[in-house]
Chain A
Amino acid sequence: MADTTFDIIFLGAGPGGYVTAIRAAQLGMKTAVVEGEHLGGICLNWGCIPTKALLRTAEIFHTMHRAAEFGLSVKEITFDVKKVVERSRAVAKQLSTGVGYLLKKNKVTVFDGYGRLDGAGKVRVEKDGKGIADLAAKHIVLATGARARSLPGLEPDGKLVWTYKEAMVPEVMPKSILVVGSGAIGIEFASFFRDFGAEVTVVEVLPRVLPVEDEEISDFAGKAFEKQGMKILTSATVTGLKKAKGGVTATVEAGGKSTQVRVERVILAVGIVGNVENLGLEGTKVKVDKSHIVIDEWSRTGEPGVYAIGDVTGPPWLAHKASHEGVICVEKIAGVPGLHPLDKSRIPGCTYCRPQVASIGLTEKQAVAQGHAVKVGRFPFMGNGKAIALGEPEGLVKTVFDAATGELLGAHMVGAEVTELIQGFAVAKTLETTEAELMHAIFPHPTLSEMMHESVLDAYGRAIHF
């Protein structure tokens, strides 16, 4: 008979659940994870990681088309969708297996099934509708994640109308695609399919693509996408999808006018909803608001001993937010001193489209709206030696400072490899640097990171190379 009493149980083994479970085990708690599908969750299996594998293929494919620029010649550039997808799946599988090892190494017990609350301090684990285990723990953490949202009239069918999941494993490369929604997920798929030659139309209900990003950055990215041949319809909504053999006719309304867009496939990326069903929340004090579990600053729900972390608690829907939120949650439970609640202004966000977009903190507009007098610095990729050498002269690094205190309020970037650069500003924000330390930091030459330095200098009128 397996042990069924734990200090802490996690429902869900995504980047929230599994990372936090390991941290809980490190803190000496007897820990269990209940996962019904796959270790690593959506992120590792159907999200962040497999899409990065696909986008890497797209990037190389695109660069191969630029071979002549670099003095190379390639006779014939072709692709095999099946193999592209196979690689992506292999990457996901490798990492998911790795999570299993990590949990085992940290003595975290894994239950293969779906967990639900079953009275105070109790969890029932079910597999295929049958109860397989009854567990007990003082602390239960809901880390069940989220799934794609569907809108009335815009329901996915898995064949012609896809969610991220089908879009990740295409059997053939569609010739035309309509992407509904231009957040990170929608734009990454738009970018992927465009690089493989599909006619891509993006419909965004708000006035600009990547609407959570700084206005200047999303305008820059939007123009780059259009230059690549993407059709971008902003302030527009898809009001209907008419399916026919081999394709879909979408009705798009914009500015009071209605147009028909005919495509082979539609990808729905209109946001996500929390997985709050079948968790046994009924009759508990756990509150759910618009499909998300309501928590306090330490991830506590209304029910004593029940916590929630990650996507199921609401935006930003990011793996690293889930992990960090979870770590704070269990460290608080363990009584680790010196803890601060998660500061959402310190969570970087990355979008792996081409060009890449990365940001942290307040946009210029948000900073002004919050009453900050701001100093804004900008530095274009065109002024950076490494960017020119890489053949990536398009991009922008923007920094926003509080004029009075020199606090780095936000950083916003678009261009090659910016997703790897943003961590520098994340460290800066967490250490609470002002412009002075960033100016004194020595950035290695020649790197793209020099643009971060120059952007800071520019905010104070001191940029050197532009």
Chain B
Amino acid sequence: MPIQILMPALSPTMTEGTLAKWLKKEGDAVDSGDVIAEIETDKATMELEVIDEGVLGRILVAEGTTGVRVNQTIALLLEEGEDASALDAAAAAPPPAPQQTPAPGSAPPAAPQQTPPPAAPRPTPSAPPGTPAPRAAAQGRRVFASPLARRLAGEAGLDLAAVPGTGPHGRIVKSDIEAAVAGGVAAPAAAPVAAPAVTAEQATTAIPNTTMRKVIAARLSQSKRDIPHFYLTIDCRMDALLDVRRELNANAPEGEGSYKLSLNDFIIRATALALRQVPAANATWTDDAILRYDRIDVSIAVATPGGLITPVIRDADNKGLLVLSREMNDLAARAREGKLLPEEYQGGGFTISNLGMYGIKEFAAIINPPQSCILAVGAGTQRPVVKDGALAVATVMSCTLAVDHRSVDGAVGAEFLAAFKRLVEAPLTMLL
């Protein structure tokens, strides 16, 4: 009996994914631990390793297939001594128990245990609280639409799950697609060709949306639409912190054990410690209760070629600058390669987005749901300040906190920023 290779669940909430690429072809011999395929989820590309050895007998799901359900059989592996005739019978057989699902590539088997589950419920990005019905459909539930509506949506490049249906029981009908194409507003995940501003005369190049792009579009639209944002900006003097950083980096050893602390590492540390002082900013709004996180897990926005991703530094308040720095460098590097594990970017209670390295003076970010706050960090620049009643020059960094007013009030946000500023301006207190 050939071994069925199943679509792996790369996270507890994953229901489907894209079979991005086959790295082996039918007839190839594989050894235990060989990477045979790449699986693309919402945010990352994962390698699929086989546990058993044998010959890749048949590929059942072609590469590039989207919406492959978890535990669907994607390929058949022939064991030693089996011939190809066994494949036909196996293709029709039900999938075996889930524990035979191959482990995702770079995930050490014990990874989930190394990350203890949080005490408070931690909603994952794919299941934000208060998800509207059409979004639920995007997670693999059936979308009801007329055959004509499906075809028209396909031609217009519309994501059906994002189109509100006005037919019986919310079924999506032709007029809904026409309205979505004409209005554009109803289709956050619409392809560029369907956007209202594009007329037939304007030449365009369609860049097909990846799953990641669609998730970014849907989640940030939802965030900006549903979350009552307000913004608080504070200026921090950076001269003391820059001195400390220079001194620490100057004392870095050569070779192994070498390090180079970035400004960002200090900001993560300051944020984590400020959250410890003002835990109310580390929270999530739900209809029934505000969920305050017991741990301080800080998400860091990282730009990647495919789009924005937010790897999480867990227990950031318990980590020193060196650990933070190494962890951040590792996460950022793997994020850019699309190799993050889902548990490395899911969760987090607070996000930092730093555009200082691009020279941005200050900006306001969109909250990363289901979190309540995001800190937008600008560039530290030399600016005139008044010191002891006289003009002086100081390096100043402006930080803007975007806050969900449902869960965090203005005073709490201000308290957090004040704590953050105290830490940044007196960096030695970060040692405490």
Interface of A toward B, CB cutoff 8 Å: 338, 340, 404-407, 431-434, 436-437
Contacts and interface: CB of A to CB of B under 8 A. Distances in A.
B164 to A, nearest CB: 11
Interface string B149-173: 1011001000000000011111001
25 contacts: A338-B166, A338-B167, A338-B168, A338-B170, A340-B166, A340-B167, A340-B173, A405-B148, A405-B151, A405-B155, A406-B151, A407-B148, A431-B147, A432-B146, A432-B148, A432-B149, A432-B173, A432-B174, A433-B146, A433-B147, A433-B148, A434-B147, A434-B148, A436-B147, A437-B147
Interface string B166-194: 11111001110000000000000000000
Interface of B: 146-149, 151-152, 155, 166-170, 173-175
A373 to B, nearest CB: 14
B168 to A, nearest CB: 6
B169 A338 contact: yes
B151 A340 contact: no
Contacts of A407: 148, 174
A437 B147 CA distance: 8
Contact of B152 (A340, A405, A431, A437): A405
Given A434-B151, A436-B147, 18 more contacts: A338-B166, A338-B167, A338-B168, A338-B170, A340-B167, A340-B175, A405-B148, A405-B151, A405-B155, A407-B148, A407-B174, A431-B147, A432-B146, A432-B174, A433-B146, A433-B147, A433-B148, A434-B147
A437 B151 CA distance: 12
Contacts of A404: 155
Nearest to A433: B147
Nearest to B146: A432
A437 B155 CA distance: 18
Contacts of B151: 405-406, 434
B63 to A, nearest CB: 26
B31 to A, nearest CB: 44
Main secondary structure of the interface of A (DSSP, over half): loop
B382 to A, nearest CB: 61
Given A338-B166, A338-B167, A340-B166, A406 B148 contact: yes
A436 B173 CA distance: 17
Contact of B147 (A338, A340, A432): A432
A434 B152 CA distance: 10
B151 to A, nearest CB: 6
A376 to B, nearest CB: 18
Contacts of B167: 338, 340
A431 B166 CA distance: 13
Contacts of B170: 338
B157 to A, nearest CB: 14
B146 A431 contact: yes
A191 to B, nearest CB: 36
A338 B170 CA distance: 7
Sorted from nearest, which 8 A-B pairs have the closest CB atoms?
A432-B146, A432-B148, A434-B147, A433-B147, A437-B147, A407-B148, A432-B174, A434-B148
Contacts of A405: 148, 151-152, 155
A212 B365 CA distance: 61
A340 B151 CA distance: 21
A306 to B, nearest CB: 27
B181 to A, nearest CB: 12
Contacts of B148: 405-407, 432-434
A340 B176 CA distance: 11
A431 B147 CA distance: 8
A436 B147 CA distance: 9
A406 B154 CA distance: 13
Most A CB atoms within 10 A — which of B147, B151, B167? B147
Nearest to B149: A432
Contacts of A431: 146-147
A99 to B, nearest CB: 28
Contacts of A433: 146-148
A143 B183 CA distance: 37
B170 to A, nearest CB: 7
A404 B148 CA distance: 11
Most B CB atoms within 10 A — which of A405, A406, A432? A432
A432 B152 CA distance: 11
Contacts of A432: 146-149, 173-174
Most A CB atoms within 10 A — which of B146, B149, B166, B175? B146
A434 B153 CA distance: 13
A350 B151 CA distance: 30
A86 to B, nearest CB: 44
Contacts of A340: 166-167, 173, 175
Contacts of B147: 431-434, 436-437
Nearest to B172: A432
A433 B155 CA distance: 16
A360 to B, nearest CB: 15
A432 B167 CA distance: 11
A287 B146 CA distance: 37
Nearest to B174: A432
B236 to A, nearest CB: 53
A433 B167 CA distance: 14
B171 to A, nearest CB: 8
Contacts of A437: 147
A406 B148 CA distance: 8
Nearest to A343: B175
Nearest to A407: B148
A405 B151 CA distance: 7
A465 to B, nearest CB: 25
Nearest to A436: B147
A336 B155 CA distance: 32
A432 B174 CA distance: 7
A338 B147 CA distance: 18
Contacts of B169: 338
Nearest to A341: B175
Contacts of A434: 147-148, 151
Nearest to A406: B151
A340 B172 CA distance: 12
A275 B393 CA distance: 89
Contacts of B152: 405
A23 to B, nearest CB: 16
Contacts of B155: 404-405
B182 to A, nearest CB: 16
B211 to A, nearest CB: 26
Nearest to B152: A405
B61 to A, nearest CB: 23
